[in-house]
């Protein structure tokens, strides 16, 4: 008898980035020079000051044993200091901070900790695919909140049916937003907190791109009065510090939710490697270093050049206020999968079709600007030859 996967896997759509990578590999195996704007994985190395901290920590025998599940006290204290410095909010490091093996892990495990079978989760559309897969794994039911261009890619909370809101246990938010690059205002966060309080919903604000901004720092939802009663914010060091492979992040906010998360994690993982936590401390303490400011400026330039070039082809594009993604609206009549396929076949350029982020992503394609500026310009030269009709 063949081994069959569990039913929970059968409801999942194909994981978008795996499909994109497969098509890219086929092109590369054929000897084509592919310029890859697909997965948002910074191509620059982790800064030396972070690597140096890890190198020193690696020689400490204490880190050769199991780490504490919720994180070293020194790491949690560093998170609290970072939050106070950036947002004017100091979480209780003993109760309101949990170390994560990257924010992706935290999103999945927090859903298991809070969502009961049959509960609704409120998911932005388009969105990072993990919100949906986490919901399915927990036995929840997704209700999608469309992010419309005309509404600055913020969900319309008034459009959520009352019965759905009453039966919801979690709402996902993601600002700065992947894939659109939008930033939420404090006024929107205030409305979201009020909505969550009214309906006894846990707000899960995915802030993975909070430090990749191009003007003023985006707000934290925990700056809003009463947010600690209903919200958890997840942060990642992956994009900010070029640490995607290190797998480290943290969750901050509602103590009861984080206690539940810690119980799930205690049963599924053994915490973040202590060496990685020491590297993360160095990163957080050095968040204002010039190399980090230079990194933001690098991404800003890339986004500006790409946005200007795409507009010249007739696409609807605004430079993002944050993240390193360019979200481009396609000409009428061209669907996103066809566009992405056309770019790969006609120009050897990889982008992500918006439909992969949800139905409301149709009509858009996403470019991750983790490509050197010279290659961005080369991609635009190639895209001049693409049939955009």
Domain CATH code at residue 316: 3.90.1150.10
The pLDDT of 5-19, averaged and rounded, is 77
Report if residue 389 sits inside a domain.
no
What is the number of residues in the chain? 389
Q: Which of 289, 288, 327, 319 is nearest to 303 (CA)?
A: 319
Host domain of residue 365: 7-45+290-383
Report the 10 Å Cβ neighbour count for 67.
20
Q: What is the mean pLDDT of residues 227-234?
A: 98
Domain closes at, from 234, 260, 285: 285
Determine the average pLDDT of the residues in 369-376: 97
> Of 242, 270, 285, which residue sits at a domain end?
285
Average of per-residue pLDDT values in the chain? 95
Within 13 A of 2's CA, how many CA atoms are on the CB side?
3
Q: What is the pLDDT of residues 70-101, one digit of tens each?
A: 999 999 999 999 999 999 999 999 999 999 99
What is the secondary structure of 286-313 as a DSSP string? TTTSHHHHHHHHHHHHHHHHHHHHHHHT
Instruction: Let me know the angle formed at the C-alpha of 280 by 265 and 18, rounded to the nearest 5 degrees.
Output: 65
Dihedral angle at the C-alpha atoms of 177, 123, 89, 279, nearest 10 degrees? -60
Final residue of a structural domain among 285, 317, 339? 285
Cα–Cα distance measured from residue 16 to residue 40, given in angstroms and rounded to the nearest whole number: 12
DSSP 239-260: TTTT-GGG--EEEEE-HHHHHH
DSSP letters, 198-227, are HHT-EEEEE-TTTT-BSSSPPPPGGGSTTG
Please give the structure tokens belonging to residue 194.
């009020």
- 119 shares its domain with 185: yes
* 285 vs 69: which has the higher pLDDT: 285
CA dist 361 and 338 (Å) reads 14
Pairing mode, if any, of strands 249-253 and 349-350?
unpaired
Question: Are 133 and 113 contacting, i.e. CB atoms less than 8 angstroms apart?
Answer: no
Report the C-alpha dihedral over residues 369, 179, 104, 132, rounded to 10 degrees. Answer: -150
pLDDT band, residue 17 (cuts 50/70/90)? low
Mean pLDDT of 213-225: 95
Could you give the number of structural domains in the chain?
Answer: 2
171: which strand partners?
Answer: 122, 203
Q: Which of 136, 133, 122 is nearest to 200 (CA)?
A: 122
* CATH code where residue 154 lies: 3.40.640.10
Cα→Cα distances 6→31, 111, 135, 136, 137, Å = 38, 19, 15, 12, 10
Q: What is the mean pLDDT of residues 165-189?
A: 97
Residues 168 and 254 in one domain: yes
Mean pLDDT confidence for 260-285: 96
Residues contacting residue 264 through CB under 8 Å, at least 6 positions apart: 109, 110, 112, 113
- What is the pTM assigned to this prediction? 0.95
Looking at residue 159, its pLDDT comes to: 98
Q: Are 160 and 122 in contact (CB under 8 A)?
A: yes
> How does pLDDT run across 107-131, given as a tens digit for each residue?
999 999 999 999 999 999 999 999 9
Query: What is the spatial distance between Cα 142 and Cα 171, in angstroms, rounded to a whole number?
Result: 10
**pLDDT above 70 for 181:** yes
* Residue whose entry in the numeric block shows the structure tokens 């986490």: 134
The reply to whether 73 and 13 lie within a common domain is: no
- Do 306 and 214 lie in one domain? The reply is no
Residues 86 and 216 in one domain: yes
Q: Are residues 126 and 221 in the same domain?
A: yes
């Amino acid at each position: 008898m063949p081994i069959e996967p569990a039913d929970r896997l059968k409801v999942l759509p194909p994981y978008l980035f795996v499909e994109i990578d497969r098509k890219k590999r086929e092109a590369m195996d054929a000897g084509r020079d592919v310029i890859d704007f697909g997965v948002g994985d910074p191509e620059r190395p982790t800064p030396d000051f972070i690597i140096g901290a890890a190198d020193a920590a690696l020689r400490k025998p204490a880190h050769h044993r199991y780490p504490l599940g919720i994180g070293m006290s020194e790491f949690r204290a560093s998170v609290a200091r970072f939050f106070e410095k950036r947002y004017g909010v100091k979480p209780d490091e003993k109760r309101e901070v949990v170390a994560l093996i990257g924010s992706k892990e935290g999103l999945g495990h927090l859903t298991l900790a809070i969502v009961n079978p049959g509960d609704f989760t409120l998911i932005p559309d388009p969105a990072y695919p993990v919100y949906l897969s986490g919901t399915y794994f927990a036995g929840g039911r997704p209700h999608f909140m469309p992010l419309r261009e005309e509404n600055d890619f913020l969900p319309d909370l008034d459009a959520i049916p009352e019965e759905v809101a009453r039966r919801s246990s979690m709402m996902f938010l993601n600002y700065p937003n992947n894939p659109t690059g939008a930033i939420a205002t404090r006024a929107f966060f205030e409305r979201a907190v009020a909505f969550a309080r009214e309906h006894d919903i846990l707000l899960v604000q995915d802030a993975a791109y909070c430090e990749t901004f191009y003007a003023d720092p985006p707000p934290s939802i925990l700056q809003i009065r009463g947010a600690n009663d209903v919200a958890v914010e997840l942060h990642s060091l992956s994009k900010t510090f070029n640490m995607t492979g290190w797998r480290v992040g943290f969750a901050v906010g509602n103590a009861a939710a984080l206690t539940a998360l810690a119980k799930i994690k205690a049963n599924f993982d053994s915490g973040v490697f202590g060496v990685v936590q020491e590297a993360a401390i160095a990163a957080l303490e050095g968040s204002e270093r010039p190399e980090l400011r230079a990194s933001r400026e690098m991404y800003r330039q890339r986004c500006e050049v790409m946005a200007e070039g795409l507009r010249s082809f007739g696409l609807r594009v605004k430079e993002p206020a944050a993240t390193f993604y360019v979200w481009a609206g396609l000409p009428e009549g061209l669907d996103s999968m066809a566009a992405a396929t056309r770019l790969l076949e006609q120009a050897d350029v990889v982008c992500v079709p918006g439909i992969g982020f949800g139905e409301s992503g149709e009509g858009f394609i996403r470019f991750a600007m983790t490509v050197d500026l010279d290659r961005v310009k080369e991609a635009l030269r190639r895209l001049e030859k693409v049939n955009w009709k």
